[in-house]
Structure 1
Amino acid sequence: MKTVVYACAVTVIFFGIYLSGMAPNITSDDSGELSTVCATLGTAHPSGYPVYTLIGKNLVSFVPFGNFAYRANLISVISGVLTITLVFLILSALSNDFLFGWALIAAILGFAQHFWFMALVTKYYTLNSFFIMFLFYILTLNYKNPQNKYIILFFFALGLGFGNHYTLVLYFPAMFLFIFLSKNKNLFNFKNLVLFLSFFLLGLSVYAYIYVRAQQNPILGWEDPKTFERFWGIIARSRYGAFSIARGYSSHFNFEIIRDQFYFFVDTMLKSFGLFNVILFVFSMIAFFIKDKKLSLVFLTMFFIAGPGFLVSTRTKLDDSIKDLLERYIYLGFISVPLIIGAAVSSFKPLLTQKTQKFFLSVVLLVSISALFARNYPKTTHRQDLSYPDQARNILRTLPRNSILLSDRADEMEFTLAYLTKAIKLRPDITFIDCNASVSRSIYGDNYYKIWGNPRLQIREAYEKQIISNSNRPVYYATFEPNMINIPRYFEGIIFNTKKPMALQSFPWDEIYVFRQDSNMDFRTHSLLASNYQLLGKYFLETGDSSGAEKAFAGFEAYESGGSVSVEAYVAYMYFEKNMIDKALKEYLKIVNQGKASAEVYTNLGVAYEKMGKTDKAIENYNKAIEIKPEYIQAHQNLAVAYWQKNDWKKVAEQYEIVIKYDPSNLSAQRYLAAARQKIK
């Protein structure tokens, strides 16, 4: 009874804490897609996630408050809370002598930054962690009291778990080792093996939902899996590869990648749990292995294969976008951390029989999780996370009535637009078409689902030209790459019109658009806001509104890589291209004042000064460029031109001689060198 009371207390406390920080709407990544399939009973991207969808549909239908995305976010909260409760129950099953301590150790996972963060958004990761812990709870009960009924339940739950996420396979070694150590009777006789397989397939049969539902033409059905071939492509993850984390992410094994991924794992673990808990975990691993080698092997296998082992198996070189992607899977190793700490403590029976030692350990754990809570709460809350619905609404605000919208932005924006237009029926006058044919049915033919690269773009171009020419409705594009296909498109706010405006006239879209930000934005949300500010800045430049461009580009610099030099140089170039020399100069000087100017920056700064008629300042900056990069031909050529303007023919000749030294085939330099030498004579 005490165990039930503690379990209920853990559940209620963490549900309240998590709910207080849960995202109120769509967030980044697959949130819009998952919210839409939950609301409309659709099919998400491979592997389809039928268990998540069916649970989500029930929550969306029966929770009487909040928008659809809010209700879908409850899946993550509830799954995360139940995962923490199951950690407590597993430790209680190993030993019921320290229930308060097990609750505190379970809270280490609950307050870990990355697990907490993922429990507050529309994703299937905490549902996956729930299945993992539920499976290990069943196996723990079986370990303490071996009965084949537990193994039957295990295989059924395993099949259902695969209906949510395939990463369960990472726990196979630990799970089957746990079963082997439990020494069940008649485990491997033919009758039981058939029974286990039957219950596994029964759980796995949830995938039939995808095929059956596709025949009813749901609002959102990824790649329209109504044929067996496309259905199999979804569950086999054909687009990505069964064991790839995303399309295109794959490299080769080498020591540098393995080293970097190990450092990344350790660094992320420290950020998530804090130094004290990581040290406690390391000592627990060692102590647990010394005290109980067999059981410790189960939990250590669980940690190392699903944690560092998984990262190595991805074979990915680390950059900001890859780190952002991998951080979503980092929980796979982290969820075993409190199990190892708790199991290590439970293996030392004398420690649990002395009240003084239990009290001291409880105080230490209480202080530790209190510090973890205070440290991570501000870093995890999503309460103000509204960037994605804001930006999708900005697109819809720009569209005139009865428009056709073709969208080929990143998946997140297509997902969010699908949610707004198809799930909550915002702007029913608009026809939304996903150019990737992921969240809307292909208008490009059935073969389109299997075609990539230039052939796909050629198909797109042909079909979309027909739409534009045959429709009497206005046709717009939401895209970051207007030159990807050969269809003329013209800026209109943050989207593109296919009809050329009669006259370029600026409209204050910045006063209409909403750019709210969350204090805990991830890498992708930063990129989203930066990209929209970039598009808005380019729109204002096209329409000659320098003031609007300056404000928009300031937002671009703030969100794109934290205001990196390359971004400021890009903004300066955009100004320069539109002959806004004073603003270009301002951006280049900003880089110089930061002490981060490259030879290219000094050269461009010199060109800006030349445009302003300040030849001496131009020469000064060309020389600075050459100091940094003596072989930089462009700086030498520009310096020669500047000296030409001053009739300093000797220095002109010197610079062209240097150009020819580095580029002997430069005919232009040879011609001008000859002319300069003629002037010297």
Structure 2
Amino acid sequence: MLKNIKSIFSCFPHLDRLLAVIVFCVSFTVYLMTLAPAIYIEDAAEFSAAVPILGIAHPSGFPLYMLLGKLFTILVPFGEMAWRVNLFSAATTSFALVVFYYAVKSMLTIARVSRFSHEDCLSERKRASSAEENWSNPSKSVIISFICFVSSLTLGFSQMIWHEATYAEVYPLYILFAISFIWCLAKWRETKDLRFVYILVFLMGLSLANHLSIIVYFPGIAFFLLLFWSRKILEFKLIALSIFLFILPLSLYLYFPIRAAANPEFYFKLINSGGAVQTAESVQSFASASLNNSANITQNSLAYLANISSDIFDEFPLIVLIISAAGLFFLFFRDKKLWFGILIFLGLGSFGVVGGLTHGQPYNGIVWWFLRYFLPYLLIPMAILFAFGLSGIFDFLSRFKFSKSIMAIVMVIIMVIVSSIPIQSLAKFWKINNKSRYWMAYDYNTQILDSLPRNAVLIANNHDMNNDIELFSLAYLQIIDKYRTDVTVISDTPMTRRPEGLKLGIDYFSLSKFEQRLRLIDRSFKFYAESPPEAGGGRKIFTTFPADTLPNSPYKSLSNGIVYQLYEKDKIGPLRSRESEASRPDFQPVLPRNVGADDFPRDDLTRNLAAKILYHRALFEMENNQSEKAQQTFLRALEIDLPMSEYYGTYLKRRTMLTLPPQTPPRAK
């Protein structure tokens, strides 16, 4: 039977290439099936709006992502633009898994996992000869290729890696660079070929043009190079060429002044009292703050580290964690230097991530916002240790003196069992990561625009987690889809262009959030009231929040179920008076798809957005004397919402206002 297995695989001299292609195809198919069909939450809508027009996104700007994303949307000339940018994430992640396959293959080779090559008493030449003889064995080579295949899919179907592959974000490219670093280090140690050092240094510089937080990998890379020191590293030619290769890709940051001169429609321009602050300066400030805080390791940092590290148990099936722990044990006896290198690599980067990305802030129990930075840093080494664990298990089984036929049967059984591990992840995380019916952000923001009359003004200002989702989604609809471009969107963020002459004041950002919101409303209202008709005067103004819930607000709001039309208090009757009813915006809201279902992704931002939509709907129903229906909608929102969200408090305050009896203003004597 063993001969039959060998003969079968001898028909595939390029087995690694075949399995790598299968890794790409399988993972890409899964990602495609669970891909978001339109704009998603967080910064996804921003990238969907900025990439097609080569715009300028928020700091650090991500010039490499912008250029590669634009190229990808050209090469894929079909489908909704947001879907194409989402697809770029899927393709990038699948390619990263292919690189991971070859990285693991190289690391298993240099670790000499065979029982024939781990004796310390052997000379280097004998060990190399023994390892070469072992890896040339067809059956063992097949097992190693199989381990790489399973490990790659196990990593690809971990919850966070899969999640990032299904919508527009810079993190799939971030993950690709992280894995590429490991591949370069493994190939350099395996072959001692300095070309891999050159590739590594170039990729390090290039990765900074995608996301600056990748720098947390650099201390671990430096330690690895020192651990496996070579005199050739000190050669002047290598040092000079490495510096050049590192600096060269940083020239991609010239993207900012070039594109800023073109003044693209999507331009995240920071404003201060002195005027515009270019994105390049914002990048410098962002990088400086992160680097300064990376060394600021406190007790709070350890609390962050402990909390996030515990999330590793939600990323893989339990069997993967057990085998990974075994892999750490096996690796210690196979290659102590590599074992030590992996631990130090994890330690240096972990504290760098926590220190740099929390910016020295005390631990507040909220960690979702940088899980995508930190978890890949843990997940990739965990998947490598998983591969070493599998290789150790197969190596352990090979020590038993079974007949060749029995050994072949045992190996096949083990391979079948191991093959089920990525399938377990697939089943476990499918519902969590399936965004194929995710229309919530698209529907909600489309309805916002649909609910507005021609040439309306929309003041979008929220202090909850979904402020960016709202603004970026509206930008996508107006810039890319060219939908309702007659509507003017105003906010206090760098990405909306307020009309010339609408100033918020140099003390604006020193005000409380309620004072900021009231000033934004007040100055916008007065600006359009005082402007002549040809300059936009007399336009109807709406807000994404009820303005009458603000302290000392001189304004009233009437809901259309999605947004609120703005009125001056002395020019409209009480909320539930006939005068108020006659002024109500004429629009009948429809709940976005997925909001009423139980199968939408339950990440924090989606929960917050869904609850916010339902709170708006409940207030609209209360204004229309549908108290029982409003109560049901409110309970549904409360079930979904995060604890202590902003809109829960806003809802309660406005509900109290609506339940008060209408008050008639006193008559003048």
* TM surpasses 0.5: yes
Contact 2:394–2:411 under 8 Å retained in 1: no
Residue of structure 2 equivalent to 1:536: 617
Deviation at 1:530, TM superposition (A): 1.3
**In 2, Cα distance between the equivalents of 1:57 and 1:175?**
31
Larger radius of gyration: 1
The correspondence for 2:557, drawn from 490, 498, 506, is 490
**In 2, Cα distance between the equivalents of 1:215 and 1:463?**
28
Residue 476 of structure 1 pairs with residue 542 of structure 2: yes
The correspondence for 2:211, drawn from 141, 151, 165, is 165
Contact 1:32–1:69 under 8 Å retained in 2: yes
**In 2, Cα distance between the equivalents of 1:443 and 1:251?**
43
**In 2, Cα distance between the equivalents of 1:449 and 1:426?**
33
The percent identity for this pair of structures is 20
The correspondence for 1:258, drawn from 302, 313, 317, is 302
The letter of the residue matching 2:543 is Y
What stretches of structure 2 of length at least 5 have no aligned partner? 1-13, 110-134, 136-140, 400-406, 532-536, 573-578, 662-669
Residue 9 of structure 1 pairs with residue 70 of structure 2: no
Residue 236 of structure 1 pairs with residue 284 of structure 2: yes
**In 2, Cα distance between the equivalents of 1:399 and 1:125?**
35
User: After superposition, where does 1:548-587 map in structure 2 within 5 Å?
Assistant: 549-561=630-642, 577-579=657-659
Deviation at 1:24, TM superposition (A): 0.6
Residue of structure 2 equivalent to 1:466: 527
**In 1, Cα distance between the equivalents of 2:417 and 2:226?**
36
CA deviation map 1:408-428 (0-9, x unaligned): 131111011111111111112
CA deviation map 1:422-466 (0-9, x unaligned): 111111222223331335468578997996232993874546531
Between stretches 308-317 and 34-43, larger displacement belongs to 308-317
Residue of structure 2 equivalent to 1:618: none
Residue 54 of structure 1 pairs with residue 67 of structure 2: yes
**In 1, Cα distance between the equivalents of 2:413 and 2:350?**
31
Residue of structure 2 equivalent to 1:637: none
Bigger RCO of structures 1 and 2 (CA < 8 A, at least 6 apart)? 2
Seen in structure 2, the aligned counterparts of structure 1 residues 144 and 346 have a Cα distance that, compared at 3 Å, is farther
The correspondence for 1:337, drawn from 357, 382, 396, is 382
User: After superposition, where does 1:511-522 map in structure 2 within 5 Å?
Assistant: 511-517=589-595, 518-522=599-603
Deviation at 1:228, TM superposition (A): 9.3
Deviation at 1:253, TM superposition (A): 6.1
The letter of the residue matching 1:537 is A
Deviation at 1:523, TM superposition (A): 0.8
Deviation at 1:384, TM superposition (A): 1.3
Residue of structure 1 equivalent to 2:130: none
Deviation at 1:223, TM superposition (A): 1.1
Contact 1:43–1:210 under 8 Å retained in 2: yes
The correspondence for 1:83, drawn from 96, 113, 118, is 96
SS in 2 for 1:273: coil
The letter of the residue matching 2:375 is I
Residue of structure 2 equivalent to 1:35: 48
Seen in structure 2, the aligned counterparts of structure 1 residues 159 and 312 have a Cα distance that, compared at 3 Å, is closer
Residue of structure 2 equivalent to 1:155: 201
Contact 2:185–2:200 under 8 Å retained in 1: yes
Residue of structure 2 equivalent to 1:66: 79
CA deviation map 1:201-257 (0-9, x unaligned): 111111111221011001111116999952333312549943599xxxx99966476
Residue of structure 2 equivalent to 1:205: 251
Deviation at 1:511, TM superposition (A): 4.4
Contact 1:260–1:318 under 8 Å retained in 2: yes
Contact 2:27–2:156 under 8 Å retained in 1: yes
Residue 429 of structure 1 pairs with residue 477 of structure 2: no
Residue of structure 2 equivalent to 1:284: 327
Between stretches 384-393 and 489-498, larger displacement belongs to 489-498
The letter of the residue matching 1:275 is L
Seen in structure 2, the aligned counterparts of structure 1 residues 130 and 570 have a Cα distance that, compared at 3 Å, is closer
Between stretches 91-100 and 181-190, larger displacement belongs to 181-190
User: After superposition, where does 1:266-415 map in structure 2 within 5 Å?
Assistant: 266=310, 268-307=311-350, 310-311=353-354, 314=358, 321-323=366-368, 325-326=370-371, 329-343=374-388, 350=395, 356=408, 358-359=411-412, 361-409=414-462, 410-415=467-472
The letter of the residue matching 1:310 is V
**In 1, Cα distance between the equivalents of 2:296 and 2:228?**
38
Between stretches 359-368 and 504-513, larger displacement belongs to 504-513
CA deviation map 1:551-577 (0-9, x unaligned): 542442232238x99999987776555
The letter of the residue matching 1:73 is N
User: After superposition, where does 1:177-192 map in structure 2 within 5 Å?
Assistant: 177-192=223-238
**In 2, Cα distance between the equivalents of 1:469 and 1:220?**
28
Seen in structure 2, the aligned counterparts of structure 1 residues 15 and 134 have a Cα distance that, compared at 3 Å, is same
**In 2, Cα distance between the equivalents of 1:238 and 1:375?**
37
What stretches of structure 1 of length at least 5 have no aligned partner? 582-681
CA deviation map 1:155-195 (0-9, x unaligned): 11111111111222221122123333444453223332221
Deviation at 1:133, TM superposition (A): 0.8
Residue of structure 2 equivalent to 1:670: none
Residue of structure 1 equivalent to 2:178: 132
Residue 103 of structure 1 pairs with residue 149 of structure 2: yes
**In 1, Cα distance between the equivalents of 2:184 and 2:208?**
16
Contact 2:461–2:492 under 8 Å retained in 1: yes
Deviation at 1:274, TM superposition (A): 1.9
CA deviation map 1:588-614 (0-9, x unaligned): xxxxxxxxxxxxxxxxxxxxxxxxxxx
Residue of structure 2 equivalent to 1:605: none
**In 1, Cα distance between the equivalents of 2:648 and 2:519?**
37
The letter of the residue matching 2:174 is N
Contact 1:113–1:272 under 8 Å retained in 2: yes
Contact 1:214–1:224 under 8 Å retained in 2: no
**In 1, Cα distance between the equivalents of 2:281 and 2:148?**
43
SS in 1 for 2:36: coil
RMSD of the TM alignment (CA)? 3.7
Deviation at 1:349, TM superposition (A): 9.3
CA deviation map 1:337-385 (0-9, x unaligned): 1112224555799559786475454234213222222222222111111
Contact 1:173–1:301 under 8 Å retained in 2: no
SS in 2 for 1:56: helix
Seen in structure 2, the aligned counterparts of structure 1 residues 308 and 339 have a Cα distance that, compared at 3 Å, is farther
Deviation at 1:68, TM superposition (A): 1.1
Seen in structure 2, the aligned counterparts of structure 1 residues 553 and 508 have a Cα distance that, compared at 3 Å, is farther
CA deviation map 1:533-587 (0-9, x unaligned): 223323443454435533542442232238x999999877765554489xxxxxx
Contact 2:86–2:166 under 8 Å retained in 1: yes
The letter of the residue matching 1:375 is K
